[in-house]
Amino acid sequence: MARRLKCPRCQSARYWILRRQHRRCARCRYDWRPGRLPLRLTPREWTQLLGWWMRGLSAQAIASETGVHRRRILRALTLLRQAMVREVPPVFRGTVEVDETDLGGAWKNLRGPQRMQRMRCGRGTSKTPVFGILCRGGQVWAQIVPDVQTPTLLPLLRRRVRTGSIVCSDTWKSYTGIAAKGYVHRLVAHGSGQYSDRRGGHINGLEGFWGYLKRRLAAKGGIRRERLPLYLAEYVWRFNHRQLSRSQQVRTLIRLLQHSVHG
């Protein structure tokens, strides 16, 4: 069965057919043509843009290198991150690590308005909880969650990890019921100075990803909370494809964009 086309901007499946094979989204009124990359950028422009972006350049620096307007660069990167949000790794099996963390800029790195907001509301109130799963020798998956309690974390674990797998975690109380769900549960007591055991029970891989994620977010100098899921998806994607060369990463991103255009 052929896939129904979707708007590359808002993913709506409702559109009007215009002349010359163009479509117009019924929701956001965006015009596009199936078979082309979004934002009317040529494949060469997209390749250059993605190449500089993978090197860590800012939108302003990419605009200077490519000659594409900065606003178009920002729209392109938003579309790209939205496509990354929809790219979910397959269900994990084998040995996995689970852990949770809080995202929020260090006090010394906050901008003036953010500091004033925290002074009024309390420093701890602006932290954003994130739950992550890492498959040993494979990929990582992470998602922003409303809280880190058992009713929130265990359903996510059951959807992302096949029953019978070995699950390594710390002693946080929300992981108490993992063994009862059909998993082999191995605990690491960080509070007692334990970081691994003889059976390979540790969460060092996932903690390494948390460190990588927080360093990259800190380098941004502050991100609005509503945009945090997009940046989380970006760094999950970068981490999962870190073994590829830069040219391979760019080709993979081009295919991801093409897939997002065609739904």
Residue 78 above 70 pLDDT?
Answer: yes
What does the alpha-carbon distance between residue 210 and residue 182 come to, in Å, rounded to a whole number?
27
Model pLDDT, residue 34: 65
Which contacts of 34-39 are long-range, i.e. CB under 8 A and separated by 24 or more positions?
34/5, 34/261, 34/262, 36/261, 37/254, 37/257, 37/258, 37/261, 38/8, 38/9, 38/76, 38/79, 38/257, 38/260, 38/261, 39/72, 39/75, 39/76, 39/79
Tokens at 217, concatenated: 């977010």
Confidence at residue 188, expressed as pLDDT on a 0 to 100 scale: 84
Query: pLDDT (tens digit, 9 = 90+) per residue, 230-255?
Result: 999 999 999 999 999 999 999 999 88
pLDDT over 60 (residue 32): yes
Question: 113 pLDDT band (50/70/90 cuts)?
Answer: low
Question: Could you tell me the pLDDT band of residue 42, with boundaries at 50, 70 and 90?
Answer: confident
Q: Which CATH architecture has domain 95-223?
A: 2-Layer Sandwich (3.30)
Lowest mean pLDDT among 67-71, 106-110, 129-133: 106-110
The pLDDT of residue 207 is above 90? yes
Beta bridge partners of 133: 98, 141
Which residue has better confidence, 75 or 107? 75
Computed over every residue of the chain, the mean pLDDT equals: 84
Q: Which residue has the higher pLDDT, 246 or 104?
A: 246
Report the half-sphere exposure of 158 (CA within 13 A, side-chain side). 13
The dihedrals phi and psi of 242, each to the nearest 5 degrees, come to: -70, -20
How do the domains of the chain map onto residue ranges? 15-86+244-261, 95-223
